[in-house]
Every structure is written in C-alpha cells, then in structure tokens.
C-alpha cells in the first residue's frame, strides 16, 4: 500500500500503514469531500442531446482560453464516472460535490427535461450512495445554455425564472436521493467575470450588465430555492456557494479603508445583503450610481431572495489586499482570475490590488490560511445558526509524473494541512463547520487557463485520461479516514 508522511514523501509497503498522529481532530460526522463542476470534467459536449453552453461558445472563440483549450472532452468523466466514484471510495471520501450541466438536462433552457441527461446524474448519485458517499448537487456552475444567453443571459430578468424552472426539474428527478442542494456556485464570477471583465463566458464587458446579472443571479437563487422547497422532501437542505473575498486594506489610511469597504460591497455584500438581510447595501448603490440606477430591482425581489438558508457554502483560496487609487497596479491585474483591460469592479475600477508577500500557488495566488479562519468566523457572525461548509478549497501547482509514474505534490499537502488547520481553528472558536470539499478531485479544465493549471488531488494524463492519485490524495485519504490531521511536526 502507498502512504505519505506529512511532507508528502511517499513510500510503498506491504503492511498496513500506522495511523497518522491526529493532533487535530474534527467533530464526528464532519464530511470529507471533493468537488468538481460539470463543464470542467464531463466532456461529451455533444452527446445525448446536450447543446452548447456559454462556456462551449466562449472556449471555441479564438483567444479566450489559454492554448485554445475547450471542455469538449475534458477528463471524460461522462464516460468514466464509475471509475471516478471508485477512486473517491478508495480514498475514503464521505461526500462529493458535483454540478449538473443545465444544457444536458434542459438543452434550450426552457421546456421539459431530457431524460438521458437526468439518467446520467441519477446513475452517478446511485453509485455514490452505493459507496456511502453523500452527494451534494450544485445546480449552476457557470454553464448557462447558449440559447438563454442569446435571449440576454443573466442581465435579463427572465433568466432567473428559467433557472427556477430548471431547478424544479432537477429537484423532481433527484430529490428522492439527494439531500444537499446548492443553487449557485460563485455568482460573483458569473456576474463580474462573465459580464464585467469578460475573462469568463460569455465574455461581455459592460459594468451595468454585470450588476444586473448579479441581481438576477440573486433572484434566481431565491426563486430556485422556493421551487426546490415545493419539490423536495422536508429533510433536504438548500444553500448557495459563495466565494467571498477576504478583503484587507493595505494600510489604515482612510482611502485604503474606503477601498476595502468598496470591494467588500462589490465582492461580498452585493450577495449577502439580499441573501442574509433582505436588502442591497446603501453604500453599494451609492458607489455604483454612475453605472446604474438599480431600477432592475423590482418590488418584492429582495424578499424573494431573503429565504432562510439551510447551510452556506464558502469557497476560499486566497485573500485580497487593496488600497485606494494611489500608485500603480503592481503587475498584471490581481483581482479577477485573468488578464483583462476591463475591470470586474463596476464603479470602483480605481481600487488597486496588491500582492501579499510570501508563498504563491501556480495561479500566483498568495497562500494565506488565516483568511479561511477569518472568513468562517465572519460568516458565523453574519449568519448565526446557519451551518457552514467549505465547499471549495485547494491549490494549483506544477505537478509532474516522475520516472516511477508517481506524482509528488508536497506543496499541496502543506497547503491543505494549513487550510484544514485554519478550518479547525474556526471550529475551535465556535464556527459550525460541517464539512470540507477539496477542490478538486481531478485535474481539470481551469476555465480561461485551460488545462494548464492542475488543482486535482488526482493527476490526469490528458493524452490517455489515466488517473494517478498524487501524494496529496493519499494524505487527504488519511485525514478523511481518521477525521484528524497528522502532526505537522
């Protein structure tokens, strides 16, 4: 059997490895999962009635994705899902968060569901359950049916109604076997990278459209939550996965503190305002007044969005450090997952983002686990009584296969160890965190970066689709099996 120590060194023995020291233990019942998204792994882009999503169109547009990569084949999960579930079972994982491809289930974004699409997800869920792995379904991880973008996309109100209709279709099909439902993944990216900076699909660069999209995503969440509640058994839990920015001011100077407030409004409170308080923050509306008058928010909308959440999913990778508009941006834009001449921050495009010193991942994202503790404690205060999940956390590194056919990724083990310790610290201080989903199970299509950035605990040889568990997979497996972290010393 193959084991790793806490530095990532792997050894192969024929005896059972001793259990690692578990100096840090998580609450019993804590879920140990991994996460993926449909467009990043499934492939089979034109099979069984699936039609193009905005990401098919975007990735096939020259110059939009590094290396001209697309999700046409991705890691072929659509055909290899049984093996991939076995891989998770072999690792001892107890949960799996995956997303349903809207254009596979409801190809035009309207009308009845396609049976073959639903059958795929039913089969996947049954296989997970048969292996004792709890499914968490995300309904929208960025793959809007292209036809709905043709009708205006998320800046149009109708898309929110279409999303609720689609949510009900999936709820009816899987509600008897899935208990955890996430409406949207990272609506900030959909709105502000998709319609603001344009580095994500559909690639539009219109600040007013980005704010309209953010509102209609919020509304879509609210309407989908109501549709799911009407469809799902009472035991089902419904939540949303946000990617809040942990925003830090460069200094205590007033303009830096104001930059922090403005980015916090656009990154975080544009979602948590209506979700948790039932209103958009007044300062957000004032900050964006020269971009939009917010007349797209109709009476009753914020009440529709403000429904009790059964849980809140938080995705965390790195914090942001900002200052007021003095000095020059240090290097490429640091604020939005890729280079663009357009800002993803409507009305606050003068805020400067700074690199924190220290270690970085292959995404050039600073490694700072303290941000995860801060985030979990912040949301514990903001949403008292709402259980939290870390629905994504992980890191890309330059992984390679060695002469023995193995992949050693000690940096990822260090990253995971530090971030899990940060989760534990939040739990120790009172956060009700129920589970952790490592991003990602497999190397996959990293959006505008294509296949160049590897986030997986399992390496994928894209030429052969062979899966090679990295040493971090063995390490995480030990954590999942013991419910604790091995000593870092």
| Contact positions vs ligand IFM (CB under 6 A) | 37, 40, 186, 315, 392, 439, 446, 455
Alpha carbons 426 and 358: distance in angstroms, whole number: 23
Smallest distance, ligand IFM to C-beta of residue 57, A: 18
Alpha carbons 172 and 163: distance in angstroms, whole number: 14
Smallest distance, ligand IFM to C-beta of residue 464, A: 23
Alpha carbons 397 and 399: distance in angstroms, whole number: 6
Cβ partners under 8 Å of residue 275, min gap 6? 218, 221, 240, 305, 306, 309
Question: Is 127 a residue of the active site?
Answer: no
Q: Are strands 95-99 and 134-140 parallel, antiparallel or unpaired?
A: parallel
What one-character DSSP code corresponds to residue 278? S
Q: Residue 22 or residue 57: which is nearer to ligand IFM going by CB?
A: 57
Alpha carbons 218 and 475: distance in angstroms, whole number: 37
Torsion of CA 43, 48, 54, 60, to 10 degrees: 60
Active-site hit among 392, 411, 425, 446: 392
Q: Are strands 458-461 and 466-469 parallel, antiparallel or unpaired?
A: antiparallel
Q: Are strands 433-439 and 458-461 parallel, antiparallel or unpaired?
A: unpaired
Q: Residue 102 or residue 280: which is nearer to ligand IFM going by CB?
A: 102
Count CB neighbours of 401 within 10 A: 14
Smallest distance, ligand IFM to C-beta of residue 62, A: 22
Instruction: Report whether 470 contacts 457 (CB < 8 A).
Output: yes
Q: Residue 280 or residue 317: which is nearer to ligand IFM going by CB?
A: 317
Active-site hit among 186, 411, 425, 446: 186
Count CB neighbours of 86 within 10 A: 13
Smallest distance, ligand IFM to C-beta of residue 125, A: 20
CA angle 175, 179, 180 (to 5 degrees): 115
Alpha carbons 344 and 274: distance in angstroms, whole number: 20
For ligand IFM, the nearest residue by Cβ is: 37
Smallest distance, ligand IFM to C-beta of residue 274, A: 22
Three-class secondary structure of residue 98 per DSSP: strand
CA angle 421, 426, 428 (to 5 degrees): 90
Instruction: Report whether 412 contacts 336 (CB < 8 A).
Output: no
Q: Residue 40 or residue 323: which is nearer to ligand IFM going by CB?
A: 40
Q: Residue 3 or residue 70: which is nearer to ligand IFM going by CB?
A: 70
Q: Residue 217 or residue 227: which is nearer to ligand IFM going by CB?
A: 217
Smallest distance, ligand IFM to C-beta of residue 446, A: 5
Structure tokens at 322: 């900002």
Q: Residue 37 or residue 44: which is nearer to ligand IFM going by CB?
A: 37
Alpha carbons 143 and 111: distance in angstroms, whole number: 17
What is the three-state SS of 441-454?
CECCCCHHHHHHCE
Smallest distance, ligand IFM to C-beta of residue 395, A: 9
Cβ partners under 8 Å of residue 346, min gap 6? 192, 196, 207, 208, 210, 211, 266, 288, 291, 292
Q: Residue 280 or residue 455: which is nearer to ligand IFM going by CB?
A: 455
Instruction: Report whether 393 contacts 246 (CB < 8 A).
Output: no
Question: Is 42 a residue of the active site?
Answer: no
Smallest distance, ligand IFM to C-beta of residue 371, A: 15
Query: Mind telling me the catalytic residues?
Result: 186, 392
């Amino acid at each position: 059997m193959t084991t790793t120590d806490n530095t990532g060194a792997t050894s192969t023995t024929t005896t059972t490895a001793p259990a690692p020291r578990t100096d840090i233990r998580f609450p019993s019942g804590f879920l140990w999962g991994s996460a993926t998204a449909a467009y990043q792994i499934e492939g089979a882009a034109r099979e069984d009635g699936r039609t193009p999503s905005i990401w098919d169109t975007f990735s096939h547009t020259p110059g939009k994705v590094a290396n001209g990569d697309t999700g046409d084949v991705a890691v072929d999960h659509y055909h290899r899902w049984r093996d991939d579930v076995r891989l998770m079972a072999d690792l001892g994982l107890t949960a799996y968060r995956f997303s349903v491809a809207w254009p596979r289930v409801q190809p035009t974004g309207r009308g009845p569901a396609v049976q073959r699409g639903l059958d795929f997800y039913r089969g996947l869920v049954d296989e997970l359950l048969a292996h004792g792995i709890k499914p968490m379904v995300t309904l929208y991880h960025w793959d809007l049916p292209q036809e709905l973008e043709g009708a205006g996309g998320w800046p149009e109100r109708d898309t929110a109604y279409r999303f609720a209709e689609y949510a009900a279709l999936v709820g009816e099909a899987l509600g008897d076997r899935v208990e955890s439902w996430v409406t949207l993944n990272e609506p900030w990216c959909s709105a502000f990278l998709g319609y603001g900076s344009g580095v994500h699909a559909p690639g539009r660069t219109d600040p007013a459209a980005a704010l309209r999209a953010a509102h209609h995503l919020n509304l879509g969440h609210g309407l989908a939550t109501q549709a799911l509640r009407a469809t799902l058994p009472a035991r089902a839990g419904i939540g949303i996965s946000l990617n809040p920015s942990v925003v830090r001011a460069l200094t205590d100077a007033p303009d830096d503190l104001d930059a922090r407030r403005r980015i916090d409004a656009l990154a975080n409170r544009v979602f948590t305002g209506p979700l948790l308080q039932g209103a958009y923050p007044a300062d957000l509306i004032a900050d964006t007044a020269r971009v939009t008058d917010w007349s797209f928010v109709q009476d009753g909308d914020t009440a529709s969005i403000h429904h009790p959440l059964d849980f809140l999913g938080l995705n965390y990778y790195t914090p942001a450090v900002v200052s007021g508009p003095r000095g020059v941006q240090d290097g490429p834009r640091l604020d939005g997952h890729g280079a663009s001449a357009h800002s993803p921050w409507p009305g606050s495009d003068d805020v400067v983002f700074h690199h924190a010193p220290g270690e970085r991942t292959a995404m050039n994202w600073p490694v700072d686990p303290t941000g995860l503790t801060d985030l979990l404690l912040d949301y514990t205060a903001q949403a008292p009584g709402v259980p939290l999940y870390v629905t994504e956390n992980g890191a890309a590194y330059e992984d390679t296969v060695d002469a023995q056919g193995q992949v050693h990724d000690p940096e990822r083990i260090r990253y995971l160890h530090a971030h899990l310790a940060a989760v534990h610290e939040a739990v120790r201080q009172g956060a009700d965190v129920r589970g952790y989903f490592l991003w990602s199970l497999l190397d996959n299509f990293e959006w505008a970066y294509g296949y160049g950035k590897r986030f997986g605990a399992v390496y994928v040889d894209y030429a052969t689709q062979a899966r090679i568990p990295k040493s971090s997979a063995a390490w995480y497996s030990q954590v999942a099996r013991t419910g604790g972290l091995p000593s870092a010393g």
